[in-house]
Amino acid sequence: MKFSRLKLVGFKSFTDPTELHLKSGLTGIVGPNGCGKSNLVEALRWVMGENSYKNMRASGMDDVIFSGSSNRPQRNSAEVSLVLDNKDRTAPAIFNKDDELEVTRRIEREQGSVYRVNGREVRARDVQLLFADASTGAHSPALVRQGQIGELIAAKPVQRRAILEEAAGISGLHSRRHEAELR
């Protein structure tokens, strides 16, 4: 699977509908301070199932919704969609019949989030597992938060092991084993 497009409406500073084409070879986003670079990376992490509002630099999950500016009113919902190219058919079996998967997370003020894949409502867990298998996911070491390098240097050995497991591509298996043990 490859990321092909990221769409945002009402997420943080992106109040107007915005669409980004994630072409192969893209290595970075540049722009002046405060223009929304970190917000974009957070949108990616959020649509992949991030549960921690602290990881969104927020004091509650509703804070990801556009909070208004001097000339724009606040919004009551935010939506992020990540379009995945699945022509190589590497998505987990339940999602694997389509060439393209559009994963959407929508939040309404005070009502929490709903996830959809190609328009069909799914559990947060399904979305998290979809990305856990692809060695990506909301907690992937491929997405480096501001301040994370410092945390890595100070990390305990067991936390560093989790990073190595992610790099080795086995953390999806751990999540699935955990699910199986719960059943």
In angstroms, what is the minimal distance from the CB of 70 to ligand ATP? 11
| Euclidean distance between CA atoms 70 and 76, whole angstroms | 17
Instruction: State the DSSP string of 63-108.
Output: GGB---BTTB---SEEEEEEEEE-TT--S-GGGTT-SEEEEEEEEE
Residue 137 binds to ligand ATP (criterion: CB under 6 A): no
Does 119 show up as a binding residue in the annotation?
no
Size of the site for ligand ATP (CB under 6 A): 14
Compare residues 14 and 95 and give the one whose CB is closer to ligand ATP.
14
Site for ligand ATP in 6-35 (CB under 6 A): 12-13, 31, 33-35
Environment class of residue 136 by beta-carbon count within 10 Å: exposed (0-12), middle (13-18) or buried (19+)? buried
Task: Dig out the tokens for 132 from the structure.
Answer: 């856990």
In angstroms, what is the minimal distance from the CB of 125 to ligand ATP? 26
Binding residues for ATP, as ranges, are 32-39
Give the footprint of Mg ion on this chain (CB under 5 A).
Answer: 37-38
